[in-house]
Structure 1
Amino acid sequence: MSSVHAATTVAVWAAAWQAGCAPDDVLAAIDGAGHRAGVRAAGPEVAESTGLPGPGSPGAGSAALLPLLRDPAVTLLLPTAGDLRGLPVRGSIVVPALDAGAVVSLPSAGLALIPQDGFWRVYPCTGSHPAMGLREARTLLDQAVAAATATLVQLDVARESPAVHDRIRGLMLAEAVDFPPGTPRAASELLATVISLEAVLIAAGHHETGAVNSHQLAVVDDALRPLTMAVREGRRAAVAATVHAFTGTGVRTGF
């Protein structure tokens, strides 16, 4: 399971925790997403403000996350090179956030969680980046899928084989998110679509298509880049809609 899967899980279950979900259920979901080594503050200032163990100290148990997850504005960030929205321009969080590719932002507390080396590390973070509404994200995703499909068909490089199919199916199963009861159906369905497309993109990223020369590979990469962005926005929209449903906060959901 990826760091993106872990961060997604923590974000949606944080909202459920605020809505009255049993702490044992929340912790079971968080632990089930991996990163069970513990919780640590990334620096002495965060350690002092949160009471968490700092660098070099044994990690606290995952239950130490629960007080932090009371932030009603919890947000999933998916930073990548060239897109650091929601993160401070400078700060200790930037490099680990890029390495992990996923951040659970707790803007009310000025903190953020990053799944890193088996731990949940807590960093200072004061930025914000509201997600799209569900309808807007779905439209963006549909348009990106249509454009990418048209390009691949035109190049005649779409390829399906048992090995690729099995790889995609395995990725989808590994990355499936255990949503809390009460999650809006539209949000869980959008995330299921996103996970399916991410698996396809990973397969394509390993050049498991029919592209046979550098020109075709470059065209495939260009065609899939907008889809990659749309997939990231779709995941963030699904999480934001879930947070809104449980806490009544956040951006429009656009059901």
Structure 2
Amino acid sequence: MPCPSATFTVWTSAWLAGAAAPDDVLDALAPWAEAHDVQAADATVGATTSLPSPGEPVSSLTFLLAALRRAVPRSPGRLVLPAPGDVRGLPGPGEFSREATAAGEGVLFVDAGLGIVPTQIADGVLRWTVYSVRDPGPTPEYVALSQAERELRDQVRQSASVLTSLGVARHRPGVREEIAAALRARPASLWPAGMPGQALRVLQHADEVEAILAAASVDEPGGALTATAASARREALHPIETAVRVARRAAVAEAVRVLAASPIG
């Protein structure tokens, strides 16, 4: 799954720390959609942030950045990548948690009490909806980037072995080209100067693994898995999907930490 929230988290955190310009943030987000619009989730959030409420004309990313600057002058954002059964990093129950889980991603600004979720509302249009977050929830678990990278590699190896043994990972003609095409189709990832090299490597690896997961989830032409085999495939892929989320969160958290500590003078 593409992850514009990762780009948003890194760049807005760098900008809030003085390590990037607002135009840099907008340029980095541009590849994710032809158009971006912004809306408050309800009238209360709209009044707090000066962003349009539902039913009003939508706003732009420029106004969202201004709202964040007013709310959290320097505090960085936190990437959340929830999935059913894996809600690590989410705040307490609420609209943001529900919508972020449905979207599979979001950005949490704890100090501002705000959460932001991107959703594609039309072809080429990405909407960033801003929610109130009253309960930040528990402090998220810390996962060292080196540990996350190692676990991702291990899960790739283990899952490949399991899928092969199940007979659902046989060679499919053109599968390498399919994976390469999926990677080329992803929006170009632009990152700030000073982005830590290990974080870049892990984010790139996560993209590659997602493309492999997508290919592994496709049935061979003319073939159909039994219900048992399909269930076994899902079980084999689930740990690696989790490892991708953990690795991406860890990479973004490390990038935010480094960039926030190294503002432009």
Q: Same fold (TM over 0.5)?
A: yes
The answer (yes or no) to whether the contact 2:96–2:116 under 8 Å persists in 1 is no
For residue 91 of structure 1, report the CA deviation from its aligned partner: 1.4
Q: Unpaired runs of 5+ in structure 2?
A: none
For residue 167 of structure 1, report the CA deviation from its aligned partner: 2.6
- Root-mean-square deviation over aligned CA pairs: 2.3
Q: Unpaired runs of 5+ in structure 1?
A: 250-255
For residue 141 of structure 1, report the CA deviation from its aligned partner: 1.0
Tell me which residue corresponds to 1:5: 3
In structure 2, relative to structure 1, the CA distance for the partners of 1:88 and 1:242 (3 Å cut) is closer
The worse-fitting range, judged by mean Cα deviation, of 39-48 and 176-185 is 176-185
Task: For residues 7-26 of structure 1, give each alpha carbon's deviation from its aligned partner in whole angstroms, at most 9, with x where no partner exists.
Answer: 11101111221233122121
Tell me which residue corresponds to 1:47: 46
The worse-fitting range, judged by mean Cα deviation, of 188-197 and 14-23 is 14-23
The worse-fitting range, judged by mean Cα deviation, of 152-161 and 225-234 is 152-161
For residue 163 of structure 1, report the CA deviation from its aligned partner: 3.5
Tell me which residue corresponds to 2:178: 167
For residue 107 of structure 1, report the CA deviation from its aligned partner: 0.9
The worse-fitting range, judged by mean Cα deviation, of 42-51 and 144-153 is 144-153
* Secondary structure class of the residue paired with 1:223: helix
Tell me which residue corresponds to 2:206: 194
The answer (yes or no) to whether the contact 1:152–1:158 under 8 Å persists in 2 is yes
Please give the alpha-carbon distance, in whole angstroms, between the structure 1 residues aligned to 2:206 and 2:191: 14
Please give the alpha-carbon distance, in whole angstroms, between the structure 2 residues aligned to 1:85 and 1:248: 25
Among 2, 10, 13, the alignment partner of 1:15 is 13
The answer (yes or no) to whether the contact 1:77–1:129 under 8 Å persists in 2 is no
The answer (yes or no) to whether the contact 1:144–1:227 under 8 Å persists in 2 is yes
For residue 211 of structure 1, report the CA deviation from its aligned partner: 7.7
Identity %: 35
Tell me which residue corresponds to 2:128: 120
Letter of the 2:118 counterpart? P
TM-score normalized by the length of structure 1: 0.87
Tell me which residue corresponds to 2:193: 181
Please give the alpha-carbon distance, in whole angstroms, between the structure 2 residues aligned to 1:122 and 1:221: 33
* Secondary structure class of the residue paired with 2:95: coil
In structure 2, relative to structure 1, the CA distance for the partners of 1:208 and 1:246 (3 Å cut) is farther
For residue 29 of structure 1, report the CA deviation from its aligned partner: 1.1
Please give the alpha-carbon distance, in whole angstroms, between the structure 2 residues aligned to 1:226 and 1:22: 38
The worse-fitting range, judged by mean Cα deviation, of 112-121 and 213-222 is 213-222
